[in-house]
Amino acid sequence: MKKSTVIVILGVFIVGTSLLCISSDNIYKKQKKFNSSSEVLQQLDNNVIIALDEKGVFSETNELKECLSKRKRISNSQINYLDFNLKEVKELNEKQKKSILDDYIIKSNSLVKSNKKTIMEPVRVLANVKYDGGYRHSKHGDKEGNIIFDFVIVDEGEGFVIDYIVEHNPSNAEEGETNVEG
């Protein structure tokens, strides 16, 4: 066989395999439709969001997946905490809102299949989180602590969902220093 024929066959095999792996049957289908960002936050509050699945692997619970955009349900939410207890929704000034939205827009525009969102709401929350020290490597050292999260909550047509997550150390949040982005 010619090299070009082998390359074409190999390319078709890779594309076909990748399409089978990203089957829509494997994507969690939302059951709830949230009508506001506060409903999304209520769903997260006081819920177990990461738990051991039937294979003994930590994975996102349905309570968390209900709050996530389709993109976040396909990939990884990067919320790797066992519990999420909302302590406070922070008031954002216009500069902070613009900064969060600008970062979200830059990151979402870099995606191949990014849908334009009509409603984008930046939200900053202080949450008490619990995590398994062997699962979550953190600078905080404890198995429980306060973390500030920046979310962008959007309307995807299935109701409001979280499409952007950035984690801050509470002492650095005002300066905008981040630990984890997503």
Alpha-carbon distances, residue 99 vs 84, 93, 123, 173 (angstroms) = 25, 10, 12, 13
Distance CA 89, CA 35 (A): 18
Integer Cα distance of 65 and 43 in angstroms:
10
pLDDT at position 116, please?
A: 67
Contact 88, 79 (CB under 8 A): no
The two structure tokens encoding residue 11: 């390319």
**pLDDT digits 0-9 by tens, 32-82:** 889 999 998 998 888 888 887 888 877 788 888 888 887 776 666 677 788
What type of residue sits at position 14? Answer: I
Residue extents of the structural domains in the chain: 32-181
Q: How many CB atoms lie within 10 A of CB 127?
A: 22
pLDDT in tens, the chain (182 residues): 677 776 777 777 676 666 555 544 566 777 888 999 999 899 888 888 888 788 887 778 888 888 888 777 666 667 778 888 899 999 999 999 999 999 988 888 776 566 667 789 999 999 998 876 554 444 544 478 888 999 999 988 878 998 888 888 777 555 444 444 44
Please provide the DSSP assignment of the chain as one string: --HHHHHHHHHHHHHHHHHHHT-GGGSPPP----SSHHHHHHHHTTEE-EEE-TTS-EEE-HHHHTTB-HHHHHS------SEEEEEEEEP--HHHHHHHHHHHHHHHHTSTTPPPPS-EEEEEEEEEEE--TTT---TT-SSEEEEEEEEEEEE-SSSEEEEEEEEE-TTTTTTT-EEEE-
* Closest to 45 in 3D by CA, of 109, 118, 124, 127: 127
